[in-house]
Amino acid sequence: MKKKNKSSGAKREPGLFRRLEALYRRMELAYASCAEEAGLSCADCPTNCCTSFFQHHTYVEWSYLWRGLLELPDHRRREIVRLAEDYMGEAGSALALNAVPKAMCPLNSDSLCTLYSYRMMICRMHGTRNVLTMPDGRRRFFPGCARFVSLPCTADPSFSNRQEGGRVVSRDTPDDACPSLDRTPFYAELAALEREFLTRAASPLTRVNLTLAEMILLGPPALR
Ligand code: SF4
């Protein structure tokens, strides 16, 4: 007769999605603290971040998003798929003209996120000025959203936002005049979760570079 495994007393590590949720919470806290320090508030903002053109780069977030989508009633999910198709048409037309798409995210409904607790990392961190230390040690600075760059603390004349094709791009000189959110540890943690998630894949997968609409239309990522 097989012996029952006795608990060793060692704590089991929480599942991957639980750790992703915990990471998301820490990102939100860090974001809120930086926004408060800088004086950034989204109240009455004339722009809507959900029309920003973002691509996402991890299978683990893609899979987690689909966990949320599968919890929706079928009719709601079908509606979101239809909105994702509309999004692709609108975004495709803009890209064909070499313009940055401004289509509304298919998950936005009456200015609210349908899958708020499943939304992607960038939805939780977009807005504040931020800094990222690259693997080669270089530090890159990003100015933040349109409202952030108009805050009094950004009046430092040494800081000028560079725009290319309507998009604010990174700069590579330091700026201490205004609070910045260091995204580096969060990206590193997400990358570690992604590596762990990909150990489930039967063979090496190509790098993800997809809009949320594409992730919806493609279905959950296939690892086998
Ligand atoms: S996932 Fe939610 S928060 Fe993110 S862009 Fe779409 S509607 Fe907005």
- pLDDT one-digit tens code per residue, 195-222: 999 998 888 889 999 999 999 999 999 8
Average pLDDT (55-74) is 97
Confidence of residue 80 (pLDDT cuts 50, 70, 90): very high
Please tell me if the CB atom of residue 83 comes closer than 6 angstroms to any atom of ligand 1: no
Residue 153: predicted pLDDT: 78
Does residue 6 form part of some domain? no
Does residue 155 form part of some domain? yes
Q: Which DSSP letter does residue 3 get?
A: P
Q: Please state, in angstroms and rounded to a whole number, the distance separating the CA atoms of residues 114 and 138.
A: 37
Supply the range of the domain harboring residue 107.
Answer: 16-218
The contacts of residue 135 (CB under 8 Å, 6+ apart) are: none
Higher pLDDT pick, 114 / 9: 114
Residue 2: predicted pLDDT: 43
Cα 65 to ligand 1 centre (Å): 11
Q: Which DSSP letter does residue 151 get?
A: S
Q: Cα–chain-centroid distance for residue 13?
A: 24
Please tell me if the CB atom of residue 105 comes closer than 6 angstroms to any atom of ligand 1: yes
Would you say residue 177 has pLDDT above 80?
A: no
Q: Cα–chain-centroid distance for residue 29?
A: 15
Residue 12: predicted pLDDT: 65
**DSSP 3-state helix, strand, coil percentages of the chain (rounded to 5)?**
45, 10, 45
Domain count, the chain: 1
Does residue 51 form part of some domain? yes
Does residue 53 form part of some domain? yes
Cα 111 to ligand 1 centre (Å): 9
